[in-house]
Amino acid sequence: MNTPAIAKKPNKDFWKHGAILALLALELFPFYMMLQISFKDNKSFVQNTWLPSLPTEWLWKNYWDAMQLLLPYISNSMVVSVSATLGTLFFALLGAYFFARYKMPLSGALWSGYLILMLLPGVANIVPLFALLKSMNLLNTLLALIILGAAGGQVFCIYVLRNFIEEIPKDLFEAAEMDGASHFNQLWNIVVPMSGPILGTLAILQFLGNWNEFLMPLILLRDPQLFTIGVGLIYLDGEYVKDWGNIMAAFTVASIPLVVIFLFTMRLFVQGLSSGAVKG
Amino acid sequence: MEQTNNSRIWNLIGLGLVIIFFLVAAIPMVWKSFTQSLPTDSKEITIRFAHWQLEGGVRRAFDLAAAEYTKLHPNIRVEQLAIPDKIYVNWLITQLIGGTAPDIVQMGKGMSDERTTRYFLPTSALSTKPNPYNKGTTLENTPLRETFIDDMESVFSTTLLDHYGVPLSAFTLRMYYNLDLLQEITGSTELPATYGQFATLLKQTTEFSQKTKKRLYHIAASGDNAPSLIDKVFRSQTGKLGDGLAYDFLPSTRPPAAHLGMAFANGEWDFNEPSMRAAVTLLRHLGSHLQPGFMQVSRDDAMFNFIQGNALMMPGGSWDYSSISAQADFPVGVGMIPTPLPDEDSRWPFSEGIISDESTNASVVMAVTKESRHSEIAQDFLLFLCSLATNEMWAQESGWLPAVRSAKIGSESQSFMPNLNGFTGGFSPGFSGADTKRVVQTSIGLAVNPNGSVDKFTNHLNSEFRNALASDLERNAIAAKINSQRADTVSLALYVLSQNGDASAADKLAIQLEGMSATDRGYQLGLQAIKLLK
Amino acid sequence: MSAPISPKKALAEWKLYLFLVPSLILILLFSYYPAISAIYHSFFRWNGGESKEFIGFQNYAQIFNDKIFLQSFLTIGILIVANLLKLIPSIIMAVFIHRLSSTKFQYWYRVLLVLPMVVPGLVTLFIWKFFFNPNLGALNYFMEFSGLKTLLVHLDQFFGWGGIFLNDFPISWLGEPQLIVPSLIIWGFPWIGAVGVLMFIAGLQSIGTEIYEAADLDGIGPIGKFIYIEFPLIITQIRVIVVLMMIGTLQSFGMQFLLLGENGGPGGAGMVPGLWMFNRAFIAGEFGYACALGLCLFVVILGLTFINNKFLRVEK
């Protein structure tokens, strides 16, 4: 939870606050630049590089253009990320339950099978994966991205969920079994309610991972209507005449969905990352 | 780890938001794909074409052409895909291999002989007949091939013996000048015509920037436009390099790059040849006036410098003109890229004179892919694009040069028209194959940097060029082997046919086969041969 | 741990296997099959389509002669070491936050920390690319403003670096071959990774207040507290992160691809193994060779993980 208070003298903290704020400012500096440039055009940027311009001079047009360009991409990314996350969690939950509930025959071998995957450099797979998707007629589809996202998240999620489920007291399961509950019932009624926070954390991590993915979409997608946000940004970077104000506005618009979600699920994010990470 | 009720509510709101976003995004998508899978009675066909010309004006021009085409054929929609050139090559390769390539693709980047025959339809058959879209013009009865200013030579593959694609534009390389700055520096707006005058101008510029303490780039070079300058530099000196070498098979013409490469591999010349050294010396002189690290400066950064008025000149192609004139707030002059005259300077004594523009600088070559489901319609659209009327409109709208004869261009484009008087120039080492290109382009710094030298460049290339050359030639050899195997099938089959008596049938078949691609040809002939041999 | 089960009961519980089936299918199809296919195809000359030509170990022999590939390992080695050093700011940040007295501030600082992580990685990447821009980039402005540039120009002349830093011209960060690796290292200043910091804070939480009090009584100063108390306790976290980071960095090439292009930038200075594999497959069209390269990379990663594990287990 929260770190116990160690320092006795609050005013001694002053320089710590200072140091932390300084580092944070440096860390957040790129985003400050992004925001202030997004309201200018190239000429005014060259004249006034560092400070934001006055609100009366703000070019909302930049945002308007950015939204027109990016909204389709954002919606595509939304569809892919949410679907992939749901897929990942659903299948991983089932799989983790299998491993955690009983030591079924072969489960040791199967488990190693999953662990080895953690080491595989995904890089080597791109080529045959491409050929595989081609033979399945899945090229240039968002479905391919969703499936890949679901498959990619299996290993990590099963690992974490297995550990979690194993911690649940066995008596709960045995009691339910004696009441005649099927395994699926046990999963639904015991595991799921207890695993709210951890499912939430995993969901967030998977969602982030899928949202940030750009390599496979770049390779697989041909039609601009299907582009996800990653591909859209790369194409934007490839334009010849760069209006930096426009581009920065596009970056901001691309960041807004995640920031909004983050604002609402803050505690989950922060707590989940710390505790989930400790187990890792 | 308990969550307070408060944070729980926030979390749920967050979740709710995600669900709402998702539904807003997903439902239209599902709806669209649902309605599209329903059979519609409108036989609307969509043709897609892809290119990498993101320059302003070109996309507009294509849009106009597409709209015109749809006016003529209301049930056909034409969609333009503009791909950034940085990712064009791997985009193209993945699309071709994955079978999702658009109907028409711009050729020129990432092409190899094998890819060309495998994925593209030849246009040789089309080239012998007049273009139906030229009805009512002076070109009405001219075979397609001759309607182009270069007779479609630029799209003819000597290894594959077929035409692939049609060119839509031509380009020339020029030097752009900031006339305001030029006036300040020299007091006039006269552009230098020879390298000697050019060198004087550069010296004046150095004095000017020292006097006014104004940081001025002499030449705004980038990794995109510098190679063409460097190319001219080399070619101005190496004209006679190939003379008399064992690989100079046709003494009346200059040997192609591959032959000179082979001569190098056999030790007949190396980079310490006087003419090569002269070229590198010239390169070093020129390079001292180029932006440091210019090979990695991007095209837009160099353009930015020029447009902001920080550079006196910038090498570029005719394709840049519309972007430059739209953004610069000073008058822009257009001049030939200066080459040295003979006896102008003892440091580069091998100069032959002004190098002419090549007439075969075709660009925007568009070809139909084999996998296209509407290949006939795609070919028809191509014919439309290279008809006199459309090409003229396209050229005027984009500001680029047209590829079709007697197409009228705007007055600003006049200075870009090719200058066909001059020498052809010699051998330039960096432009034949992928690996030699990489070696030369990454070594330019050795020649050009302040701490570089002629020796560093020549010695480095002497050791590195051989391996790169070997891998390029090997790749060529493998492709040639595959190609000749294809030709073998054809020859054998024709032989068998002729032996079996029906010479006229063989002739008819040959004419019919001319319209097919090489692989299909081989296949058809094989079938015929099998029939006869039975 | 999962409960043991007798074979007879296991048989009755056969339906449990069905739970695993969908997940298993996904990974078999999309993770294992491509991996095996990659191994298979590494013995062919394959251009990605249907035609392939069996050439045995030729691809592997070619790897030994492939200077670019071998050199890319050197580059990535440097980057790994740099990434290791970049963990330090995260540790420092974690210690500072951990030692604050106000839990409320701790929470809010952690939130602010996570914020950059929420922005899509591509956006951060492109903003930094913009910073590296010779004409408009913030980095060059900063160098001139702070006088660092003049310092670098002097050092340049002193050490004979060859005119990378010249007075009249902007520093071309992504343009000079020798500046590329430094640029990749500078990227992401001040190198505070949210995940790292949070993990370290979590580790530090296990330290009880009594230990701090005892330390105060012994008169140990703040730095001493770090060396003797905090650092040993977060060593496990550090190890985990180090292993994950090494595996991740070895495979990564997305940043290099987007910043420098498919050839690794000027002089190929930014070429890393993953990028070379991508280049061979999707630019040169040599898919078989790319598979062989990928396999080599896998073996290297496996080797490193093995060494790391040995190192880890000894200390546990």
Sort strands B45-51 and B104-107 into parallel, antiparallel or unpaired. parallel
Please report the pLDDT score of residue B510 as a whole number: 60
Stretch (H or E) spanning A97: helix A60-101
pLDDT given for residue B69 in this prediction: 92
Instruction: Check residue A280 and give its pLDDT.
Output: 41
Domains along chain A with CATH numbers: 60-279 (1.10.3720.10)
Q: Which helix (H) or strand (E) holds A178?
A: helix A170-178
ipTM of the assembly?
A: 0.81
B45-51 and B76-82 beta bridge pairing:
parallel
What's residue B64's pLDDT? 92
pLDDT of residue A279: 45
The pLDDT, as a whole number, for residue A151 is 86
As a whole number of angstroms, the distance between CA B6 and CA B19 comes to: 20
Of the candidates B240, B246, B316, the residue with the CA atom closest to the CA atom of residue B278: B240
Chain segment B451-498, per-residue pLDDT in tens: 778 888 888 888 888 888 887 777 777 767 766 766 666 666 667 667
CB of C27 within 8 Å of a chain A CB? The answer is yes
- Considering only residues A129 and C165, tell me which one the structure prediction assigns the higher pLDDT: A129
Kindly report the nearest CA distance between residue C162 and chain B, in angstroms.
5
Interface of A with B in 33-72 (CB under 8 A): 46
Tell me: the pLDDT tens digits for B104-116? 999 888 787 777 8
Q: Report the range of poorest mean pLDDT among A13-17, A241-245, B524-528, C40-44.
A: B524-528
Half-sphere exposure of A75 (CA within 13 A, CB side): 17
State mean pLDDT over B352-360. 71
Residues in B 307-336 with any Cβ partner in A closer than 8 A: 308, 323, 327
**What residues have CB less than 8 Å from C30, skipping those under 6 apart?**
A129, A132, A147, A148, A151, A152
Give the burial class of C159: count Cβ atoms within 10 A of its Cβ; 0-12 exposed, 13-18 middle, 19 or more buried.
exposed
Place C257 in a pLDDT band, splitting at 50, 70 and 90.
confident
Q: Which residue has the higher pLDDT, A201 or B500?
A: A201
pLDDT of residue A2: 45
Cβ within 8 Å, pair B114-C267: no
Bridge partners for B402 per DSSP = B169
In angstroms, the CA C234 to CA C237 distance is 5
Residue B62 pLDDT grade (very low, low, confident, very high; cuts 50, 70, 90): very high
Domain range B45-170+362-416, CATH class? alpha beta
Mean pLDDT, to the nearest integer, of B366-390? 88
Q: Which of B351-355, B392-396, B476-480 has the highest mean pLDDT?
A: B392-396
Secondary structure (DSSP) of A195-217: THHHHHHHHHHHHHHHHH--HHH
Least confident of A34-48, A237-251, B114-128, B494-508: B494-508
Chain B residues within 8 A of A241 when measuring between CB atoms:
56, 300, 323, 327
pLDDT tens per residue, range B281-321: 888 888 888 876 677 677 777 887 888 788 888 988 887 88
What residue spans define the domains of chain C? 67-132+173-282+289-315
- Taking the alpha carbons of B228, B231, B236, B242 in that order, is the dihedral positive or negative? negative
Structural element, H or E, at residue C84: helix C67-85
Give me C72's structure tokens: 């890319």
Model confidence pLDDT, tens digit, residues A128-159: 888 888 888 888 888 889 998 888 888 888 88
B296, B300, B443: best to mutate for the C interface, most C CBs within 10 A = B296
Nearest to C23 among A28, A94, A219 (CB): A94
| B224 or A212, which is more confident | A212
- Is pLDDT larger for residue B370 or for residue A50? B370
Residue pointed to by tokens 């503009």:
B82
Model confidence at B35: pLDDT above 70 = no
Distance CA A191, CA B160 (A): 66
CA distance to partner chain B, nearest, from residue A99 (Å): 24
Q: Which of C281, C249, C276 is nearest to C265 (CA)?
A: C276
pLDDT band at A174; cut points 50, 70, 90: confident
Residue-level pLDDT at C155: 81
With residue C30 as reference, give the H or E element that holds it: none
Which of C219 and C120 is assigned the larger pLDDT? C120
Give the span between the Cα atoms of A110 and A255, in whole angstroms.
39
Determine which of A244-248, B43-47, B386-390, C172-176 has the lowest per-residue pLDDT on average: C172-176
CA gyration radius, chain B: 28
CA C171 to chain CA centroid, nearest Å: 26
* pLDDT bucket at C20, cuts 50 / 70 / 90: confident
Q: What is the pLDDT of residues C69-116, one digit of tens each?
A: 888 888 888 888 888 888 888 888 887 777 776 777 777 787 787 788
CATH architecture of B173-356: 3-Layer(aba) Sandwich (3.40)
Which residue carries 């807004």 as its tokens? Answer: A256
What backbone phi and psi angles, to 5 degrees, belong to A98?
A: -55, -50
Min Cα distance C269 → chain A (Å) is 20
Predicted pLDDT at B526:
64
**Beta carbons of A264 and B94 less than 8 Å apart:** no
- Reported confidence tier of residue B66, pLDDT bands at 50, 70, 90: very high
* Percentage of chain B exceeding pLDDT 70: 82
Residue C180: closest CA among chain B residues belongs to which residue?
A: B296
Closest of A131, A142, A153, A152 to residue A229, by C-alpha = A142
Measured CA angle at A65 (ends A60, A67), to 5 deg: 95
Do the Cβ atoms of B117 and B99 come closer than 8 Å? Answer: no
Interface of C with B in 255-274 (CB under 8 A): 261-263, 265-268
Q: What angle do CA A235, A240, A242 make, to 5 degrees?
A: 90
A224 or A73: whose pLDDT is higher? A73
B32 versus C301: the higher-pLDDT residue is C301
Q: What is the mean pLDDT of chain B?
A: 79
Residues B405-420, mean pLDDT to the nearest whole number: 78
* pLDDT value, residue A1: 43
Give the closest-approach CA distance of B131 to chain C in angstroms: 35
Q: Give the tens place of pLDDT for each residue, A52-91.
A: 777 777 788 888 888 888 888 888 888 898 889 999 999 9
Quote the tokens at residue B117: 């025959």
C67-132+173-282+289-315 is a CATH 2.60.120.10 domain: no
Calpha distance B429→B437 (Å, rounded)? 8
Is the distance from CB of B409 to CB of B401 less than 8 angstroms?
yes
- For residue C24, which residues of chain A lie inside 8 Å, CB to CB? 95, 110
